[in-house]
Amino acid sequence: MNYELMVIFTPVLSEEDYKAAQKKFADIVKENGGEVTHENPWGLRSLAYPIQKKTTGLYLVLEYNAPSDLNEKLKVQLNRDENVLRHMITALDKYAVQYNNRKRNGVNADSKTAEA
Amino acid sequence: MAVKQEIKYLTAVKTEKRAKKYCRFKKLGIRYVDYKDGEFLKKFLNEQGKMLPRRISGNSLKFQRKVAQAIKKARQMALLPYVTDLLK
């Protein structure tokens, strides 16, 4: 199955800590029989509303292909990490995978980007 | 005797014809609603950040449901606000 993980880290992380955190979760996916298809650190973004009294957050979007039991292990690690403000795992259907691929490869003929 | 030709209405007759609403997803062949694209999802919100009904947005039922899920995910991840003033 294809999944997508989105994490918001605290904005107080330094550049190295942010990189380390990215690597940490990518490694968890790899160690448990998953395969990271794409990693996209969005970096610092302002939040639409404050979370834990913070108005900004460091975003990370991780796409991976993994057996479904990996998600539980990943969630444990995410909940345990106190740098994580919030996280969400989304299952991707075939259209979502197509869409993400097209977006990555920067095809502007994509109807979605033309519309948006 | 009164002339019968003069027909009178209580309210003004509507002369303008409104453009037919359509589902933009069906028309443009969009098959996945991305929760990460906050700007796109804003098209389906009003100024308070509430979702527009199908009656207004013109979405088909299938895609209205997908839009709803995407908006809820975006709100969870602080890409869209739950409540606000002057969103647009």
How do residues A5-63 score in pLDDT, each as one tens digit? 999 999 999 999 999 999 999 999 998 888 898 888 998 999 999 999 999 999 999 99
The pLDDT assigned to B17 comes to 84
Q: Which of A49, A36, A106, A32 is nearest to B83 (CA)?
A: A49
> Is the Cβ pair B40, A48 closer than 8 Å?
no
| Phi-psi region at A106: left, alpha or beta (left = phi > 0; alpha = psi -120 to 50) | left
Say if the Cβ atoms of A116 and B28 lie within 8 Å: no
- pLDDT average, residue stretch B2-30: 82
Q: What is the pTM of this model?
A: 0.81
Q: Quote the distance between the C-alpha of residue B2 and its chain's center.
A: 49
Q: Do B40 and A116 touch (CB under 8 A)?
A: yes
Per DSSP, B51 falls in state B
For A13-52, give the DSSP string: --HHHHHHHHHHHHHHHHHTT-EEEEEEEEEEEEEEEEET
Which chain B residue has its CA at the smallest distance from A6's CA? B77
The ipTM estimated for the assembled molecules is: 0.81
Q: Summarize pLDDT for B24-73 with one digit per residue, the tens.
A: 899 998 889 999 998 999 999 999 999 999 999 999 999 999 999 999 99
Residue ranges covered by each domain of chain B:
24-77
Give the separation between CA A57 and CA B3, rounded to whole angstroms.
76
CATH architecture of the region B24-77: Irregular (4.10)
Report, as an integer, the average pLDDT of B7-25: 84
Residue B11: pLDDT above 80?
Answer: yes
Q: Which of A18, A13, A5, A17 is nearest to A74 (CA)?
A: A5
More confident residue, B17 or A89: A89
Report chain B residues whose CB lies below 8 A from the CB of A49: 78, 81-82
Are A49 and B82 a contacting pair at CB < 8 A? yes
Distance, CA of A43 to CA of A41 (rounded, Å) = 5
